[in-house]
Amino acid sequence: MEPSNLHIFFIPFMAPGHMNPLIDMARLFAAQGVKCTIITTPLNASRYQSIINQETQSGLYIRTQTIQFPPSSQTQLPENCENVDLLPSRDLTPNFAKATTLLQAQTDDLVRAHLPDAVISDLNLPWTAEIARKYDIPRITFHGTCCFALSVTISVNHFMPHANITSDSEPFLVPGLPDPVYVTKAQLPIRSMKNMGLHEFFQQVREADKKTLSAVVNSFDGLEPDYIKHYEKLTGKKVWTIGPVSFVNKDFASKSIRGNKSAIDEHQCIAWLDSKKPKSVLYVCFGSLCYFPKSQLFEIGSGLEESGCPFIWVIKDVDNGLPDGFEERVEGRGLIIKGWAPQVMILSHESVGGFMTHCGWNSVMESVSLGIPMITWPLFAEQFYNERFVLDNVKTGVGIGVERGFEWGEEDLVGVLVSKEQVKDVVTRFMSDGDEAIKQIKNLASKLGEMARSAVQEGGSSYVNLGLLIEDLLSKKKEKLDRI
């Protein structure tokens, strides 16, 4: 049986950090000849449809099937809130989680009509496990993070090493891992997200994951070999590492339109980058779901201004806390993008020499894949785990010095976590050429980028793993046909 005999449904969770890698993943499968169908809502489909159209025109079988997002009367959400990054308030997160569960019936209808050979579903859509079981279809879970963070999460939940710790800032050892890993109570995902009211939802996610035989991860074997094996041992699941998936974006067009419509003209952005010296620009972006109080934005802006370094800073809100006259004073040296930025395109440019990041796993992987060293500033969820991986395991970054995150929905109550002096000092040191420790970090980042590129090339580990996964699904299809 050939890959063209295989039809896979890809079902992403509606948040940029989950959608973008799964869409890239579908494109990777399609490039191998697999028939791929992406299931999502109309508004979310509009974000990536142009790139899917390009793939279709090149001869690949990749399609989108839309399902309707539930009406406001059922969700108590404003109209057109079909993605987490469109929620006007963090308080509506539980409503959004509930709304995603209401997509089950429509998805069930599509599965029944098309009977795909497999479903690759985001972890945060647990009801897809029930559909897959109902139609005897293999379900593969997509994890939006790495095996290191997944392993730490399991150990924290199992051993509860923080149970008798009274201080939020006292580091404790997470037992049962291949390496010594230390975190604090303030850095645990449950702390930053305790106000979301999603305990029942996350329990459903965990139960559905237990019923899934394998997982696909945006990572590669050479990046975290011990933790890939450790996670497989802990869960009994086969882990397919096929990343970095962002490498599927090879040309200017795909890099510039990936994820959403850019808030800046792509050619204008490239022209600005072209005017800068190689490795001189710091790219500053904290992801599509970050929210900073105005007091913290003021400190970031002041620190970047006083550093004297060229920078691109992506901010979410047009109504922000930037210092008065900030944009005028940094004009030419600093480029402010208000809204969605073509991140892969920017990071791919030779003038970019560093990335100040929230440590969302997609951003980490995009940095790793392009050999870009990082300034780490985690905010919530498993981002502090990812920071530990960057700083202690692969050693391709320096920390901004933040010791706790923002609690989801209560960011304004926390205020300033990092001062302008910290921002200035870390940026100045990081972007200079004189610090030997920073030189070592940059050298390691460059070598890791070479490893990442090798992984996705023909014969590389991720390329081979993708082929093996396709073979495994073809084998399961043949077994099913033989039973019939």
**Stretch among 54-63, 199-208, 392-401 having the lowest mean pLDDT:** 199-208
At residue 55 the predicted structure's pLDDT band, cuts being 50, 70 and 90, is very high
- 176 within some domain: yes
Q: Mean per-residue pLDDT for 37-42?
A: 98
User: Do 82 and 200 have their domain in common?
Assistant: yes
Instruction: Decide: 449 and 394 in contact? Cβ < 8 Å.
Output: no
Q: Which residues are catalytic?
A: 18, 122
The answer on 336 and 206 residing in a single domain is no
Give the pLDDT confidence score for residue 13 in this predicted structure.
97
Mean pLDDT score of the chain: 94
pTM over 0.85: yes
- Tally of CB atoms within 10 A around 208: 22
Q: Are 244 and 369 in contact (CB under 8 A)?
A: yes
Q: Within this chain, do residues 342 and 440 fall inside the same structural domain, yes or no?
A: yes
Q: Please indicate, yes or no, whether residues 226 and 270 belong to a single structural domain of this protein.
A: no
Residue 215, domain extent: 3-248+455-483
Q: Is the pLDDT of residue 246 over 90?
A: yes
Residue 22 within a domain: yes
Do residues 195 and 281 both lie within one domain?
no
Do 346 and 380 share a structural domain? yes
Q: Is 190 exposed, middle or buried (0-12, 13-18, 19+ CB in 10 A)?
A: middle
Domain count, the chain: 2
Residue 257 lies in a domain: no
The pLDDT, as a whole number, for residue 194 is: 62
CATH code of 290's domain:
3.40.50.2000
Tell me, yes or no, whether 461 and 380 share the same domain: no
pLDDT of 192: 59
In this structure, the answer to whether residues 425 and 470 fall within a common structural domain is no
For 382, other C-beta atoms within 10 Å of its C-beta total 25
What element of type H or E holds 399? strand 397-399
* Model confidence at 15: pLDDT above 90: yes
Please indicate, yes or no, whether residues 286 and 312 belong to a single structural domain of this protein.
Answer: yes
pLDDT at 396: 98
State mean pLDDT over 323-352.
94
Is residue 254 a part of any domain in this protein? no
Average pLDDT for 170-187: 96
Going from the C-alpha of 309 to that of each of 27, 283, 315, 359, the distances in angstroms are 37, 11, 18, 22
Q: Is the pLDDT of residue 318 over 60?
A: no
The answer as to whether 255 is a domain residue is: no
Is 159 within a domain? yes
Read off the pLDDT of residues 138-161 as tens digits, 9 standing for 90 and up. 999 998 999 999 999 999 999 999
Same domain, yes or no: 319 and 438: yes
Q: What is the pLDDT of residues 102-143, one digit of tens each?
A: 999 999 999 999 999 999 999 999 999 999 999 999 999 998
- Asked if 34 and 3 touch (Cβ cutoff 8 Å), the reply is yes
Model pLDDT, residue 202: 79
CA angle, residues 128, 132, 133, in degrees to nearest 5: 115
Residue 10 located in a structural domain? yes
* Residue 253, domain member (yes or no): no
Q: Give the percent of the chain with pLDDT over 70.
A: 98
Whether residues 125 and 192 fall in one domain: yes
Considering the domain architecture, whether residues 477 and 410 belong to the same structural domain is answered as no
Structure tokens belonging to residue 343 = 């991140």
